[in-house]
Amino acid sequence: MFASPPIVNLLVIRSPDIDRAVTFYKQMGMLFHRHAHGNGPEHYASEICGFVFEIYPQRNVGDVTNNARFGFNVDDVDGMIDLLREIDATIMTQPTDTEWGRRAVVKDFDGHTIELVTPVNREAKITDIYNNANRTGDAEDAK
């Protein structure tokens, strides 16, 4: 029996100031809405292609997530770094060509380490993903 591997669909980070934290990610172009689930705390959420990124308030001093490292594929690493410089983000590693593509590492306002990558052949990979996701099963798709 074949079982497909799990796919990440949710990432939650915590911040002592969610309004300040969301400005970093909005500068990257992410869209957020503020809401709460039931009696839970208000938080920010961004969803794209089935992936949900949430920024929740920190509940206490020990309730931190800033030891996590995560990354985003972006269209233009150099342009993204320029945008993040405008809000005084900390640039840990300047944009550099690597085996994974053009890459830089930054810290958000709460100290989360964020890797930004423009993969080699990004446009071709996105086109392939789009084309494969839109297959109808018709004979034309087999060509």
d(CA 33, CA 23): 12
Q: Give residue 46's identity as a one-letter amino acid code.
A: S
CB-CB contact of 65 with 80 (8 Å): no
d(CA 24, CA 109): 7
What pLDDT shows up at residue 4? 87
What is the pTM (predicted TM-score) of this model? 0.81
CB-CB contact of 111 with 16 (8 Å): no
Q: Is 30 helix (H, G, I), strand (E, B) or coil?
A: coil
Helices 18-27 and 77-86: angle between axes, nearest 10 degrees? 140
Over residues 120-136, the pLDDT tens digits come to 976 655 556 556 665 44
Domains and CATH numbers, the chain: 10-134 (3.10.180.10)
Over residues 90-129, the pLDDT tens digits come to 999 999 999 999 999 999 999 999 999 999 976 655 556 5
How many beta carbons lie within 10 A of that of residue 105, not counting itself?
18
Q: Could you give the percent of the chain with pLDDT greater than 90? A: 76
